[in-house]
Amino acid sequence: FFLMVYVTMRIGKHLNYTKYGIRFKLACVALCIFLLWDVDTGLFRMLHFAFLGTEPKLGATNGSMWEWYFRSTLDHWSTFLGMIFALNYPITSLFFRKLEARPWREEWA
């Protein structure tokens, strides 16, 4: 999943510094993740058939491809959500700093 972050930030790297460019890139990544893992279009099999087989093996009774699909499905959105949190961290941090600077009564009112 590190490769996904690297490729996302490397392609069109000038867009990483614009307000809407990075959001557009992340929307494209979300679409790719959705199509690859969440929609059964055969895209996952098409991209991995050369590397992974479907014959049963020890530890992978349904084949290596199914095992790889299953394991990568467990956390396929986590890297994307990490990029979203990293993108929004500065504004969230500013919000909390301003909130903590307010008087105690206004903070809880």
The count of structural domains within the chain is: 1
**Residue 69: its pLDDT value, please?**
80
Boundaries of domain holding 32 = 2-108
**Residue 62: its pLDDT value, please?**
67
User: What are the average pLDDT values for consecutive 10-residue runs of the chain, which has 109 residues?
Assistant: 90 94 96 88 75 71 75 87 94 92 75
CA distance 15 to 13: 5
**28-59 residues labelled b (16+ CB within 10 A) or e (exposed):** ebeeeeeebeeeeeeebeeebeeebeeeeeee
